[in-house]
Amino acid sequence: MKRLKISILALAGAAIMFTSCEKDDPKEVNVSTSATITGNVQAQLDLRNDTNFVTNLENVEGINIYARISTADLTTNVDPNFNYPSKVYTATTDADGNYELNVKAGSKTVAVEIYGDEFKRDVVLDSNNNTQSVNFSMMTDSITVTHQQTKVYDIIYQ
């Protein structure tokens, strides 16, 4: 009987000891907030007077602009063996060619890849108002942001 009591006490003590232990590893704290990327999108839709090297840039409406980030940039303890997904944010330009993207951004720098849809517009070629349909595209570019930052990034389509 005495052995049984001692065994029960030993098992109870071991159970309490193992269940009350807390992991000593630091907790992952995600302090993500957002950053704002804003800008204006333009293209040269009027080639009149182009011979004197004056560009007639016009605001472009209705174009989707994208911002892609790696979610690894939002993590405080990055696991090199984990494949972190990308997150894509989208904004559409308004009548004045303006766009605004609100992206997640932590306390460290977040790399943002900016790109946009291709589009086709009629371009005025000369003073006789002759036009030609032209495809426009933009080069993908990279910028960096941090939390609570507003970054202006204007885009000129070629």
Domain 33-157 architecture: Sandwich (2.60)
Separation CA 47–CA 64 (nearest Å):
24
* Res 15 pLDDT > 90: no
Model pLDDT, residue 75: 87
Q: What would the pLDDT profile of 110-151 be if each residue is shown by its tens digit?
A: 999 999 999 999 999 888 999 999 999 999 999 999 999 999
List Cβ neighbours of 127 (8 Å cut-off, separation of 6 or more).
48
Between the alpha carbon of residue 156 and those of residues 11, 28, 91, 140, the distances in Å are 73, 40, 16, 12
**What are the E-state strand segments in 19-83?**
33-46, 56-59, 64-70
What is the domain partition of the chain in residue ranges? 33-157
pTM, 2 dp = 0.75
Q: What would the pLDDT profile of 59-107 be if each residue is shown by its tens digit?
A: 999 999 999 999 999 988 889 999 999 999 999 999 999 999 999 998 8
